[in-house]
Amino acid sequence: MSLDRTTMLGVAHAERQRLGRTVQYAEPATWDQPSALPGWWNRDVMAHLASQDTAAAMVAKGDAAEELDEYRASLDGQAFDVATFNEWAVGRRSGLTTREVLVTWGKAADAFLAYMGLLSDQDWERQRFPWLAGEIHARYLVQSRMVEWWVHGEDMRATNGLGPEYQHWPIYMTIDMGVRMLPWALAQAGLDLNGRSVKIDVDGAGGGSWHWGLGAGEVPPVDKEPDTTIVGRAPQLALVAARRLSASDVLASGNLVAGLDVELGIAVLRSIRAFA
């Protein structure tokens, strides 16, 4: 299901506000404690979001993403790697106070959503924005930021005493992004699955249904039977797509079950990811 523009921006605003409340209610001492993301403190998570949301706001406005361009210029011909850029961007904010990091993120996220809201209907449908792994459609840039806000919010809430926040739209959108990226993710894993498809049915917060082709650009015919199925709980699938839970763990727990071609279903779960 593709959300219309008003709904997409509405749920993105809601997720930005939800992460804002996580920031507001976190005990100050927890910012200098480890998050659930290995190697990053909670303040590092927010520094990462401040970096990416600042870049997103700049490209949404039509400006160059200065920090991204600076990093690319420093590579001297080497390939751009998202994880390495993230570490670099977090490191250069190590001298800022926690408050500066948090305020920068909030202003950047608000600016990004404001600029996306100013796009004409034509630009919303047609414009592509330069982003981390190449050009990205407006709706997917918004969706990607929403996914990051929920996933990294969970990283912090896991250790700052606030506990998990399972809401329908961010979980649904995380799964949806992972499903849409499956052909790319499978190709990155060296798997050629042209002509094959997966049917996913998950329930709970974020629940939904997808029948998706596993080859680039493939749309399964309406009457095509899937080659494999994945059923179970939506929050767990979202966390697999976010690379926070392993395919092995969710299969062993029974929260997700692969059917028909089981090995293909396991390959899908091992490959699915909601970000580049």
Instruction: Report CA-CA distances (Å) from 150 to 75, 115, 126, 263.
Output: 30, 21, 27, 30
Identify the CA nearest to 146 among candidates 24, 18, 1.
Answer: 18
Q: Is 161 exposed, middle or buried (0-12, 13-18, 19+ CB in 10 A)?
A: exposed
Q: Is 232 exposed, middle or buried (0-12, 13-18, 19+ CB in 10 A)?
A: buried
* pLDDT score, position 131: 96
CA distance 223 to 56: 40
- Given a cut of 80, whether residue 1 has pLDDT beyond it is no
* pLDDT score, position 163: 96
Residue 52 banded pLDDT, cuts 50, 70, 90 = very high
Mean per-residue pLDDT, 11-33: 97
User: Using an 8 Å Cβ cutoff, are 144 and 136 in contact?
Assistant: yes
CA distance 102 to 88: 18
Query: For the chain, which domains are there?
Result: 5-165 (1.20.120.450), 177-271 (3.30.1050.10)
CA distance 183 to 186: 5
Express as a percent the part of the chain with pLDDT over 90: 97
* pLDDT score, position 77: 86
Residue 113 banded pLDDT, cuts 50, 70, 90 = very high
* pLDDT score, position 2: 80
Residue with tokens 């998050």: 35
Pair of tokens at residue 254: 């029974």
* pLDDT score, position 182: 98
Instruction: Report CA-CA distances (Å) from 141 to 50, 69, 120, 211, 267.
Output: 15, 18, 16, 23, 27
- Given a cut of 80, whether residue 191 has pLDDT beyond it is yes
Residue 83 banded pLDDT, cuts 50, 70, 90 = very high
> Who wins on pLDDT, 274 or 76?
274
Residue with tokens 């849409």: 180
Give per-residue pLDDT as tens, 128-184. Answer: 999 998 999 999 999 999 999 999 999 999 999 999 999 999 999 999 999 999 999
* pLDDT score, position 251: 98
Identify the CA nearest to 152 among candidates 244, 70, 87.
Answer: 244
Per-residue buried b or exposed e for 176-194, using 16+ beta carbons within 10 Å of the residue's own CB: bbbbbbbbebbbeeebebe
Q: Share the mean pLDDT of the chain.
A: 97
Determine how β-strand 228-233 pairs with β-strand 256-260: antiparallel
Give per-residue pLDDT as tens, 209-259. Answer: 999 999 999 999 999 999 999 999 999 999 999 999 999 999 999 999 999
- Count other Cβ atoms within 10 Å, centred on residue 219: 11
